[in-house]
């Protein structure tokens, strides 16, 4: 069997460093068709399995605002890799996990490579990885990509994911005030033969510019979706795209930040 693993993460989270470590820097570099965003893929040298690693452009979200985001999102949703390695900068974990909340909605087997652990330790910060993993519902492997630390374990755990299967992960919008609407739209999509319905339902609720073109909804389905969205906006009195962004941040600050323990910063040192 051969599999494709996509490396997804914020800019400067260490994607290229990890990519080089996994592939031995034998990458094929080109451009994505039609755009000037760099496309890199290479065979993983660290396993006898046949794994292609695709280094996606660095992104902060799956909303199509920049060419990078469009490329990354099209690759993830249309090409659907067999697994996602989501590289997260441990020293900036809250901000990085904003993207993670969106990646987990794609239903693709996902593992988190918690990078820059050396830097985290230097700062005296700590992350409770066991509980973080429980909360997110996907494996979290601490690594220091620049020193090749944790790479073997990361790869081992990635290979033991249910590669190539569609999964339902825990997600940040579960149990929120819009989860009923998400369910309604997901069910409508499922009944009409669509897959990947959680992600598509959320994008429709966000009134994403490209999603309707991609999905080509029938007029009646389109109407039903718009009605469900309008109803949710009416009930909550809020614009849904903003509400969804707020819910993601709230999920991170309420359910995840407690697993991050900041060490004493230099400025806090007191001498007696």
Output the smallest distance, CB 59 to ligand GDP, in A. 10
Compare residues 16 and 184 and give the one whose CB is closer to ligand GDP: 16
Label each residue of the chain as H, E or C: CEEEEEEEECCCCCHHHHHHHHHCCCCEEEECCCCCCEEEEEECCCCCCEEEEEECCCCCCCCCCCHHHHHHHHHHHHHCCCEEEEEEEHHHHHHHHHHHHHHHHHCCCEEEEEECHHHHHHHCCEECHHHHHHHHCCCEEECEHHHCECHHHHHHHHHCCCCCCCCCCCCCCCCCCCHHHHHHHHHHHHHCCCCCHHHHHHHHHCCCCCHHHHHCCCHHHHHHHHHHHHHHHHHHCCCHHHHHHHHHHHHHHHHHHHHEECCCCHHHCCCC
Number of residues that bind Mg ion (CB under 5 A): 2
Output the smallest distance, CB 11 to K ion, in A. 6
The interface partner of residue 144, options being ligand GDP, Mg ion, K ion, none and the CB cut-off 5 to 8 Å by kind, is ligand GDP
Site string for K ion, 8-47 (x = CB under 5 A): ----x-----------------------------------
Task: Give the interface with ligand GDP as residue ranges (CB under 6 A).
Answer: 9, 11-17, 58, 115-116, 118-119, 144-146
Output the smallest distance, CB 121 to Mg ion, in A. 23
Site string for Mg ion, 2-41 (x = CB under 5 A): -------------xx-------------------------
Site of interaction with K ion (CB under 5 A): 12
Site of interaction with Mg ion (CB under 5 A): 15-16
């Amino acid at each position: 069997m051969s599999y494709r693993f996509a490396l997804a993460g914020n800019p400067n989270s260490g994607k290229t460093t990890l990519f080089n470590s996994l592939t031995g820097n034998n990458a094929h570099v080109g451009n994505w068709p039609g755009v000037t965003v760099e496309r890199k893929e290479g065979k993983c040298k660290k396993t006898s399995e046949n794994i292609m690693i695709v280094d996606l452009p660095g992104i902060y979200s799956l909303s199509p605002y920049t060419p990078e985001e469009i490329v990354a999102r099209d690759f993830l949703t249309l090409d659907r890799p067999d697994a996602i390695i989501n590289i997260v900068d441990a020293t900036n974990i809250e901000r990085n996990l904003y993207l993670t909340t969106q990646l987990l909605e794609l239903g693709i087997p996902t593992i988190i490579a918690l990078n820059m652990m050396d830097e985290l330790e230097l700062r005296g910060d700590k992350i409770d990885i066991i509980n973080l993993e429980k909360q997110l519902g996907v494996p979290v492997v601490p690594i220091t990509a620049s020193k090749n630390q944790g790479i073997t374990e990361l790869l081992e755990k990635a290979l033991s994911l249910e590669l190539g299967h569609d999964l339902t992960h825990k997600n940040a919008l579960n149990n929120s005030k819009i989860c009923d609407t998400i369910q309604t739209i997901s069910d409508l999509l499922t009944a009409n033969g669509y897959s990947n319905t959680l992600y598509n339902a959320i994008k429709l609720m966000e009134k994403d510019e490209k999603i309707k073109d991609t999905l080509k909804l029938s007029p009646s389905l389109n109407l039903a979706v718009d009605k469900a969205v309008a109803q949710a906006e009416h009930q909550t009195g809020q614009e849904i795209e903003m509400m969804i962004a707020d819910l993601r941040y709230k999920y991170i600050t309420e359910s995840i930040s407690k697993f991050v323990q900041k060490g004493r910063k230099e400025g806090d040192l007191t001498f007696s």
